[in-house]
Amino acid sequence: MSEAEFEERLRAGFFCQTGVISGLPHRYGMPSFVPRPDGPVDTVILRAPYVDTFRCLIPGPVVYQIEDRRDRIELRLQSRQGSSAEAMSRIRDNINESLTGRRIAHRTFINDGPIEALMHVALEAMTIDLPGRSGRTQTEVAI
């Protein structure tokens, strides 16, 4: 969304938390969240720094970290326009965020193959980590 739309939503109370990642021109926001009275939340995708705020809203979530291999991340970040100092700053920030995510995650998955493979291992983990909480089958999961 544009900066103006982000500001408008911020003023309207759309976000319960916002922040920036050092070295990046973007702001991130976690939308306000109201737990459903009729059951568990299926899936919420967050950056690692927002998980603690989410845990205040929903106690006891199962947290999965999905990340890429470090060498592929570094190549991608270095290929973006900007100085080498900016690229190094982004790489350091990504490493720090990955480490934070690994500390708070129940499981970490490396997304270095086809999306179907990632989906398969994540679904396998969910059957172990969320017994009885998910009646969905693999064909019902949309990526």
Mean pLDDT of the chain: 79
DSSP annotation string for the chain = --HHHHHHHHHTT-EEEEEE-TT-S-EEEEEP----TTS--------GGGHHHHHHHSSS---EEEE--HHHHHHHHHHSSS-HHHHHHHHHHHHHHHHHHHHH-SEEEE--S-HHHHHHHHHHHHHHHSTTT----GGG---
Report how far residue 132's alpha carbon sits from residue 143's, in angstroms, rounded to the nearest whole number: 22
Range of the domain at 102: 42-140
> 119 near 143, Cβ under 8 Å?
yes
Q: Is residue 7 part of a domain?
A: no
Taking the alpha carbons of 10, 11, 17, 19 in that order, is the dihedral positive or negative?
A: positive
Q: Is residue 126 part of a domain?
A: yes
Q: Is residue 129 part of a domain?
A: yes
Choice between 117 and 74, residue whose per-residue pLDDT is larger: 117
Cβ of 35: how many Cβ atoms within 10 Å? 11
Is the overall model pTM greater than 0.75, yes or no?
A: no
Q: Is residue 97 part of a domain?
A: yes
Is pLDDT of 135 > 80? Answer: no
Mean pLDDT computed over 69-87 = 81
Q: Is residue 28 part of a domain?
A: no
Q: Is residue 32 part of a domain?
A: no
Q: Is residue 23 part of a domain?
A: no
Cβ of 12: how many Cβ atoms within 10 Å? 9
Q: Is residue 5 part of a domain?
A: no
Number of domains in the chain: 1
Nearest to 102 by CA among 65, 68, 52, 49: 65
Is pLDDT of 21 > 70? Answer: no
